[in-house]
Each structure stands twice: as structure tokens, then as C-alpha cells.
Amino acid sequence: MPKQSDVLAADFLVKIAEEFGTPVYIYHAEKIKTQYEKLQKAFHKADTRFFYACKALTNINILKYVNSIGCGLDTVSIQEVQLGLKAGFDPKNIIFTPNCVDLQEIIAAKDLGVIINIDNLSILEQFGNKFGGSYPISIRLNPHIMAGGNFKISTGHIDSKFGISIHQMRHIERIINSTKLKVTGLHMHTGSEIKDVDVFLRGVEVMLEMVQHFPDLESIDLGSGFKVAYQQGDPETDIDLLGRKLSEAFNTFAKTYVRPLQLWFEPGKFLVSQCGYFVVKANVIKQTTANVFVGVNSGFNHLIRPMFYDAFHLIRNISNPKGTERIYTVVGNICETDTFGWDRKINEVREGDYLVFYNAGAYGFEMSSNFNSRLKPAEVLVKEGKPHLIRRRDTLEDLLKNQIELQ
């Protein structure tokens, strides 16, 4: 059994790999709770709610656990809404913030009773014309703030497809006045992996300037984007400092507003990234004129972040943790370039050893595919020291189940 701490021990990960096979995603439930409690503590001086951005990881057991600790749910598709309801979330604790969907998906969310967040003028007008003020909504604004770890995860800049520009307030007001829409929330999200607390402060300044146009607000939602560390010494968002500064700014403003306001956030990666471990097996050690490759039994079909975002994941040999450090390039078994990490110092790797990728809880399995007709891996949840299989690995039948053979 592992110690009840934030980190699962290497020997325990090996036991899970031996029991359930590899590749395997492993999640630590109590780490999710620890991260949630960090946020609650940091923002305890303001009336604050948190909604888990479940696009990071939607396994039904993760959703049930998040619901059990009192966190709400942030969704971006009607299917995520349905998963949240199936996991037991109250519709009033689910935010639906889609992008580039048609009105029918918005109506489907309305019929399920969840909080709807609209991010473009066309849908805002269509919804208002159809329902008026009978169903209150939130509006996602684009604050024109460049933020995030890289351009691909920046969502609040001037060229972003997300949100309605703050410079289109006249259009928003025209629609609200003509359709009698009731707007009870304002939302923004500038990007992911934001290290600078001042970015959030600039965002809240913009939002508070916009509040004057909306007399019926109940919440201001600042999205998320909290940065977590991927290796020792890695910069991360100072959650305590952020909580202190944002709470002060928000509370000062809230006293002047006509009704009580809540501050909302939608953490995804912050809650589940560090809870996740991805364990693979070393298939081959291949030396070339320039590199020593460790080829593993996985690829970007299972963990695409290093190839898609140039994301860093710490890789360790959990079968030989005291071996002599050597320099390896870790690659996958996909018939494309799928490099997980160049020139990494790793304890000597032998064919058959298990390697673990840390910080694999967010956008790991969730972005996986069956490319090369490879099978998706299993998922295991460690809760109260005991591992539970929460998704069996794919079989060939899974690849074929939706295909229709012509006779």
C-alpha cells in the first residue's frame, strides 16, 4: 500500500503495472482533493465557487469523486453535460461553455437545466429571440489579454475564437434590450499555464469595468489557467498570493454592486494534472550515431501533449531507480515521429523496465486516439490506498464495434 501522501511511490506504481499491464494511466484520488483544498484555502476570504473543467479528464469515476468533494463542473459539450449529470452533479452546479456550436445544442443544455454561458453574438441573439428572459444566461467576454504557456493555449487575445469582444458591448446591450435577456453571469478565460498573478488581476479589472453594463449579475467567472509545476524548480502560479490579491480586489468592488456577487473559477489541469501517472514499458534500447533511444510501448496516440504543445513530462525509470544515470531520448512505437523527451537523464533503462511519466492526469487519456489502430490503455484509480480498474484497455473488438462491413 502507498503512503497517504501526495505522491505515489515507484514500487507501488510497478505493482499496479504488473497487475493491470501497460500502458496504463494511474490517478491518485486524494491528490485531487488536496489541490481542491488549496484553492478553497487561498480564496477563503471571498465568496468563491470552483467548477472542475472536465475536458481535462472525464472518466465517470473522476467526475463522481470531484462531485463528492463538493466541487462543481465546467463542461464544453452537451456530452460532457450528460456525463456530469450521470455522475450525480446537480444541474445547478454544472456550467456549459461551448464554442462554435449551433443553437440546438444550447437548447439541449437549457432543457437539462444547467448554467449556460454564451460566447458569440449570433447565438446570444438567437437564444434571446426564442426564450427572452425566461432562462437566465451568462456571457463569455474576450478581454483582449494575451496569456498562457503558448499561443495554442491562449484564449483571450484579440484573434481568439473564444468570447465576445469587450469592444462589442454596444452589440451585446442591443441584443439584451431587444430580447429582454437576463444576464446573471460574466465569464472570461485568458489561457492556460499562467504564471504571472498580474495577468489575473488585469483580467478582473477588465471584468469589473464591464459589470456596470449588467444590473442582474450573480457571478463573475475568471476561468482558470493556474500553472502547476512539471519538475522540481518549475515556476507555477502562486495560488496563495493570487487568492489574497484577487479576493481583496473582488471584495472591494462587490461592496459597491447592487446585489451579492460570487467569484467563480474553472480549474481543470490544476486539479488533476499532478494526480496522474502514465506507466509504459521499455520495448527496445536502440543506439544510433547520435542518440540512445528508449522505445516504449506507447506513443502520441496515448500522450500527445509533448508533440502537440511541446509539453514537458518528467520521465523516470521505476524498475531501476538506483541505476547509473544515462542520457536517453524516449520515443514511442507509432509510425510517425513521436518523441516524448530528448536527451533526458534517466537511471539506466533495460528492455522490459517500466518508465513513468508524471503530471499525466490532464489531457493525457482524454486526448488519446486509436492512431495506427493501436489500442487505448487502461485507467486505474488509487483511492484510500487501493487501486481500482476504472477503464479496461481496448480490444480489437473496440476498434471494429462501430464499423459496418458491406456484404
CB within 8 Å of 387: residues ≥ 6 apart: 16, 19, 20, 26, 380, 381
What pLDDT is stored for residue 150 in this prediction? Answer: 38
- To the question of whether residue 391 is assigned a binding role by annotation, the answer is no
Positive or negative, the CA dihedral 269, 387, 319, 395 is negative
Q: Domain 29-269, what fold?
A: TIM Barrel (3.20.20)
Q: Which three cell numbers stand for residue 129?
A: 429571440
Q: Residue 183 pLDDT > 90, yes or no?
A: yes
Give the pLDDT of residue 234: 81
Looking at 1.10.150.20, 2.30.40.10, 2.40.37.10, 2.40.10.10, the CATH number of the domain 273-394 comes to 2.40.37.10
Contact by Cβ (8 Å): 230, 312? yes
Identify any residues that bridge with 278 across adjacent strands, giving them in sequence order: 25, 357
Tens-place pLDDT, residues 242-269? 999 999 989 998 898 989 999 999 999 9
pLDDT at res. 144? 77
pLDDT band at 190 (very low <50, low <70, confident <90, very high): low
First-to-last C-alpha distance (Å) of the chain: 53
The answer to the question of whether 305 is labelled as a binding residue is yes
Q: Rounded to an integer, what distance in angstroms lies between the CA atom of residue 194 and that of residue 230?
A: 14
- Alpha carbon of 406 to those of 88, 133, 403: distances in Å? 41, 51, 10
Every domain of the chain and the residues it spans? 29-269, 273-394
Given pLDDT bands bounded at 50, 70 and 90, which one contains residue 47?
A: very high
335 tagged catalytic: yes
Question: Rounded to 5 degrees, what angle do the CA atoms 227, 230, 231 make?
Answer: 130
Q: Are 217 and 259 in contact (CB under 8 A)?
A: yes
Q: Which residues pair with 327 in a beta bridge?
A: 345
Give the mean pLDDT of 42-53: 97
Comparing 2-11, 140-149, 158-167, 328-337, which segment has the lowest mean pLDDT? Answer: 140-149
pLDDT mean over 50-78: 98
Q: Would the annotation count 363 as a binding residue?
A: yes
Interatomic CA distance for residues 352 and 340, integer angstroms: 18
The one catalytic residue in 54, 100, 275, 335 is 335
* Mean pLDDT for the stretch of residues 42-46: 96
> Is residue 151 predicted with pLDDT exceeding 80?
no
Distance CA 278, CA 316 (A): 11
Q: State the pLDDT at residue 5.
A: 59
Binding residue per annotation — 225? yes
Strands (E), 65-182: 72-75, 94-96, 115-118, 137-142, 164-165
Confidence of residue 3 (pLDDT cuts 50, 70, 90): very low
Q: Is 133 annotated as a binding residue?
A: no
